[in-house]
Amino acid sequence: MQAATLVVEARVASQQAEQQPGGHLATSYTLGVYKVFKGQLPAGPLRVLTPGGTLGLLHEAVSDGVVLPTGQQGIFLLEPGPTGAYRLAAGPQGFIGYDAASGVATDPFGTYPAIEASLYPTLASLAGHAYQALQPAPALGVAAAARVARPAAQQALAATPTISSLAPLAVAAGASTSTNASQAGVLTISGAGFGASQGSGYVQFRNADNPGPDATPNYVRPQAGDYLSWGDNQVVVRVPSLSTSGNAAGTGLVRVVNGDGNLATSSQPLTVSYALSTVLPNSDPTHPYRVHLVGVENGGYTLHYSPSLPAAAQASFEAALGSWRDQAGANRSVGAATTTDATNRDNESIVRFDNLVDALPAGVLGRTYSYYSGCTMSGILTWVLMETDYVFSASANWNFGSGGPAASQYDFQSVALHELGHGLQLAHIISATGAMNYAIGNGQARRTLSADSDLAAARDMTTYGTAASSAERCNLASYAPSSTAAPLPVVLVAFGARYVPGQGTALSWTTASERQSAEFVVESQAGADEPWQAVLRQPAAGSSATTRQYAALDARPLAGTRYYRLRQLDQDGTGHYSATVAVQGLGAETLALAAYPNPATGQVHLSGPLAPGATARVRLLDALGRVARQTSGPADQATFDLPLAGLPAGLYVLEWDGGTGLNRQRLTVE
């Protein structure tokens, strides 16, 4: 409440994935607000961004991410985000979710069974004033109230379900999916009164990300595609790591709600030993998919320290990394340090601390970004892990030493062990000893990997991920996640450039095949210390299994050396670079007038012939021959910019006089 600038009771009205700067994916939620407890609503729609999401065949998962289904009600504790929208003020702790059926509100560490009598007064007291009601909220606890209100005769006719047994009593969440029918993740629930068909019935598991207290636990439901069979005496269901609310199933009692709305609870708890990350594509929103690893050396990925990671943290991080590698066979290693100090989808897995510009939410000690790509091979959709980035809080009171943390400290090695588990594609569990437990407190150390949960999970993930065929890894068998020059999804055979006097630089490239390619961008650089500039764009084939040839012309004159590279953009917006080529031009005396970009907006860069000691004089003429702009460049300078601000759009003629004769060039102003 102190960190939040805006606190509202609201409902998720709509959601949409979108791409952010740096290639990140985020999910944008539009909220319908019922009450305001703190702050002022924005003038327009209230929009909340949470990190991660799925956009086409691009997916990003964030270890502390919150997934909210449309229609979800609750309390949103918000702060302004870096992109203009709001974000949860303390990650998953910034949302108190309502269970509409029972009328109970839950956050990761507490439950409010009486929302109006307990939760509302608590929030109002912390805010220092009463809430403002904007519109009536939908009634909560309708299902429970309806059952109580039924006439006795109807209650007698309604089936009362019972659960007699669970088999097995220990499972792995996410191990069984529609493309991997592993029995390790399937639960059989036996009993009576479940109903001959599922209808509106459902199964509930304890929420591993947001479990609530033992006395009043929080529950999640499987996806519709996770129900394998439903009968009056038996329900067979996959135990999800990606429920309808985006959370993993955790250890706890299991519940079955039949079509009449009656509830049965198991007498024995189900142990969820571990949970494996899965992807839920937009094209198939009821069937999660397991993830394959693409590293060529047994699923290997190389990590790189950023400048912000203090030396004191590196020994603790490598101790955690060594535990996963030596005990579970997870092929992760630390490579050369990088100058990159931001999390981006750039084929470089980095380890860093946060900063004021890119700060973690309050209460979040570490975050793992996992970046995936999908492809369809022989009609089968598959997903591969491309890269992972790790970010830790720079403001936390860390213990970096080999000894245990003080009461006020957080143990860095324990948190690093946990986040590295997310990088291995392990989801949260509920465990007093497991490294993948959903939370850790100050003064606690959890540096030992549990054999039954952590180690078993990592071995399962490594075996499954690396046993995949080349097609299941999207034919990326040679992918090198530690390289910034990873192979293009487009198989590029050649890229070349040569200077043609009087015409410009002729560029050509050839592809052997293309997969979901959008366009090619030719970029140039005047020197090693100069910025790269986009000079040409050309549409790509999209998908092609045959050789294709491309050609383009950079009409600018060239004196000296210029460097070119090719950037290939996928349909999902990600980019990949070719190798750089150098082109040698001719002397200044052979140059002609060139203007770029053309068409131009705001200003245009000019270059042209210039006699020794001369000053270039430029006029810009409109379609009627009138002078719209005129200027002159510094002596002996053959290149400079001409401002275009305020000019009407249209066709113009540039006149350049550099002491070697008059040169003209058409220019389109947009």
Antiparallel, parallel or unpaired: β 278-279 and 170-173: unpaired
Give the model's pLDDT for residue 590.
42
pLDDT in tens, 298-342: 457 899 999 999 999 999 999 999 999 889 888 888 999 999 898
| Per-chain mean pLDDT for the chain | 84
CB 104 within 8 A of CB 47: no
CA–CA dist 89, 181 (Å, integer): 39
Range picked from 240-244, 414-418, 597-601 for highest mean pLDDT: 414-418
Residue 123 has which token pair? 């929030």
Which among 251-255, 522-526, 656-660 has the top mean pLDDT? 251-255
Q: Which residue has better confidence, 195 or 180?
A: 195
Q: Is 178 exposed, middle or buried (0-12, 13-18, 19+ CB in 10 A)?
A: middle
Domain 308-467 fold? Collagenase (Catalytic Domain) (3.40.390)
pTM for the complete prediction? 0.68
pLDDT exceeds cutoff 90 at 621: no
pLDDT digits (tens, 9 = 90+) for 13-44: 888 888 776 678 888 898 999 999 999 998 87
Residue 22 is predicted with a pLDDT of 67
Contacts of 312 (CB under 8 A, 6+ apart): 400
Q: Is the dihedral of CA 360, 13, 428, 305 positive or negative?
A: negative
Determine the residue type at 292.
Answer: H
* φ, ψ at 74 (rounded to 5°): 165, -175
Helix %, strand %, coil % of the chain (to 5) = 15, 40, 45
Task: Look at 303 and 605; give whichever has higher pLDDT.
Answer: 303
Mean pLDDT of 432-458: 93
Burial of 423 (0-12, 13-18, 19+ CB in 10 A): buried
**Sign (positive or negative) of CA dihedral 63, 66, 70, 72:** positive
Predicted pLDDT of residue 157? 47
Q: Which CATH topology does 162-291 take?
A: Immunoglobulin-like (2.60.40)
Query: Which amino acid belongs to residue 501?
Result: P
Give the contacts of 369 (CB within 8 A, at least 6 positions apart). Answer: 24, 51, 60, 61, 62, 343, 388, 389, 390, 391
| Cα–Cα distance for residue pair 63/92, rounded to 1 Å | 10
Range(s) of the chain covered by CATH 2.70.50.50 = 491-585
Residues of the chain with CATH 2.60.40.10: 162-291
Report pLDDT for 151: 54
* pLDDT attached to residue 480: 35
List the beta strands (DSSP E) in 379-454. 380-392, 398-399, 410-411
Environment class of residue 584 by beta-carbon count within 10 Å: exposed (0-12), middle (13-18) or buried (19+)?
Answer: exposed
Highest average pLDDT, of 53-57, 111-115, 367-371, 647-651, comes from: 367-371
Would you tell me the crossing angle of helices 456-466 and 311-328 to the nearest 10 degrees?
Answer: 80
Beta strands 504-513; 104-107: pairing state = unpaired
Quote the pLDDT of residue 477. Answer: 40
Residues 87-133 pLDDT 10s = 999 888 899 998 876 778 888 777 888 888 889 999 999 999 999 99
Confidence at residue 287, expressed as pLDDT on a 0 to 100 scale: 79
Question: What is the residue-wise DSSP string for 618-631?
Answer: EEEE-TTS-EEEEE
The residue behind tokens 């598959």 is: 382
Task: Please give the radius of gyration of the chain, using alpha carbons only, rounded to the nearest integer.
Answer: 30
Write down the pLDDT at residue 479. 36
Q: pLDDT digits over 513-565, tens only? A: 777 788 889 988 876 557 778 898 888 888 776 778 888 898 888 777 788 88
Residue 167 has pLDDT above 50, yes or no: yes
pLDDT of 156 reads: 46
What pLDDT, on a 0 to 100 scale, did the predictor assign at position 378? 59
> CB 561: neighbour CB atoms within 10 A?
14
Specify the higher pLDDT residue, 525 or 635. 525
Q: Which of 339-348, 434-443, 612-621 has maximum average pLDDT?
A: 434-443
HSE-CB at 134 with a 13 A cutoff on CA atoms is 12
Start-end of CATH 3.40.390.10 domains in the chain: 308-467
Strand partners, 604: 642
Average confidence (pLDDT) over 445-460: 93
Dihedral class, residue 446 (left if φ above 0, else alpha if ψ from -120 to 50, else beta): beta
How far is the CA of 307 from the CAs of 313, 398, 407, in angstroms? 12, 18, 29
Q: What is the pLDDT of residues 256-288, one digit of tens each?
A: 999 888 999 999 999 999 999 998 876 666 778
Structure tokens at 635: 């002596």
Mean pLDDT for 610-630 is: 81
- Residue-level pLDDT at 336: 92
**CA-wise closest residue to 257 among 162, 394, 146, 351:** 162
Residue 66 CB: number of other CB atoms within 10 A?
A: 24
Q: Is the pLDDT of residue 594 over 60?
A: yes
For 574-640, give the DSSP string: -EEE---EEEE---GGG---EEESSSBSSEEEEE----TT---EEEEE-TTS-EEEEEEPPTT--EE
d(CA 371, CA 373): 7
CATH number for the region 594-669 comes to 2.60.40.1930
Whether the pLDDT of residue 3 is over 60: the answer is: yes
For the ranges 86-100, 227-241, 286-300, the lowest mean pLDDT is seen at 286-300
Nearest of 560, 643, 632, 649 to residue 605 by alpha carbon: 643
pLDDT at 469: 73
User: Of the ranges 357-361, 370-374, 510-514, which one carries the lowest mean pLDDT score?
Assistant: 510-514
pLDDT tens by residue, 133-149? 998 887 776 444 444 44
Burial class (CB in 10 A: 0-12, 13-18, 19+), 119: buried
pLDDT at 659: 76
Residue 486 pLDDT exceeds 50? no
CB atoms within 10 A of CB 478: 10
Looking at domain 491-585, its CATH architecture is Distorted Sandwich (2.70)
Sheet containing 162-167: give its strands across: 162-167, 186-192, 234-238, 227-230
Neighbours of 55 (CB within 10 A): 17
